[in-house]
Amino acid sequence: MQRIRLRYTKRGRLRFTSHRDFQRAFERALRRAEVPMAYSAGFTPHPKVSYANAAPTGVGSEAEYLEIALTAQRDPEKLRALLDESLPTGLDIIDAVEARTSGLADRLTASIWELRLDGVTVEEAGKAVETFLAAESVEVQRKTKNGMRTFDTRGAVAELQALAPQADRPLGDACAILRLVVRHLTPAVRPDDVLSGLRAVADLAPPVPAAVTRLAQGLFDEESGTVTDPLAPDREAAPAAPQTAAGTVSATAPEGPAA
């Protein structure tokens, strides 16, 4: 059995796709691409697909991950291209590697988020960010399936910056960009929880809902403060390509001289 790990996106209007909707679309894509899927046992077999830390509905993402199990060997890049062609634009398969290590979900310990706040100036956002970061704790409430729950958002935030928007925005339109690095803790702290915290400590209240996009997720490096690529260990574990006597990578055999 071969395992392939895929990175996919949720862009544009497809950010409103629920996780269940994506599952249905992805399983249809598997059938269209004639992927030799492994199936579970039992009375209702289903394709062996493992999803890891999916983004909430309504949130865009450049870094969603899943793993599939195959009954026959396939080239990861060719498989990626076939699946990408079988999915609607916006749900794009952008990376694929053969799984050569364990614990993909364990390597998703933090996310980088971008929040666009229309109607908020960079100065207003910057002051709110300073107040938030200076606090020892910022408690917010969120309704869960077990009722209202109070939890600290400050402890989960590894980095928070207020940035100016792209230069192509019309002059005079107030807009601020928040760049946010959040550790994956329990309970999970979401970008909207951080916005609730900014409202609580600094009275920052954007007039329209924030446009939220996950830019990356992976293993958080405490020393550098960076989020690393979770598929990198699988690439590094891949066997090295054979080399010729001259030390160059051996690809296909050279063609002989024409007759």
27-84 pLDDT, tens digit each: 999 999 999 999 998 888 899 999 999 999 999 999 999 999 999 999 999 999 999 9
Residue 45, CB-side half-sphere exposure with 13 Å CA sphere: 6
Tell me the pairing of strands 147-152 and 157-163.
Answer: unpaired
Percent of the chain with pLDDT over 90: 78
pLDDT at 248: 47
Higher pLDDT, 228 or 248: 228
Say what the pLDDT of residue 49 is.
Answer: 96
Written as six digits, the tokens of 162 are: 């207020």
pLDDT band at 216 (very low <50, low <70, confident <90, very high): very high
pLDDT tens-digit series, residues 107-160: 999 999 999 999 999 999 999 999 999 999 999 998 877 788 898 999 999 999
The DSSP element (H or E) to which 252 belongs, if any, is none
Q: Enter the tokens of residue 170.
A: 């019309």
Residue 254 has a pLDDT of 42
- Cβ neighbors of 171 (< 8 A, separation 6 or more) are none
CA dist., res. 239 & res. 236, Å (int): 8
Query: Taking the model in full, what pTM does it have?
Result: 0.87
What angle separates helix 19-32 from helix 76-85, to the nearest 10 degrees? 110
Which one of 1.10.3470, 1.10.1200, 3.30.1300, 3.30.70 gives the CATH number of domain 108-228?
3.30.70
Mean pLDDT of the chain: 90
Please check whether the domain covering 2-106 is classified as CATH 3.30.70.580: yes
Residue 199: burial class (beta carbons within 10 Å; 0-12, 13-18, 19+): middle
Comma-separated ranges of CATH 3.30.70.580 domains in the chain: 2-106
Q: Dihedral sign, CA of 126, 130, 131, 136?
A: positive
Q: Maximum distance among all alpha carbons in the chain?
A: 81
**How many residues can be counted in the chain?**
259
- Bridge-based pairing of strands 147-152 and 211-221 is unpaired
- Residue type for 31, please? R
Name the token pair of 92. Answer: 């794009």
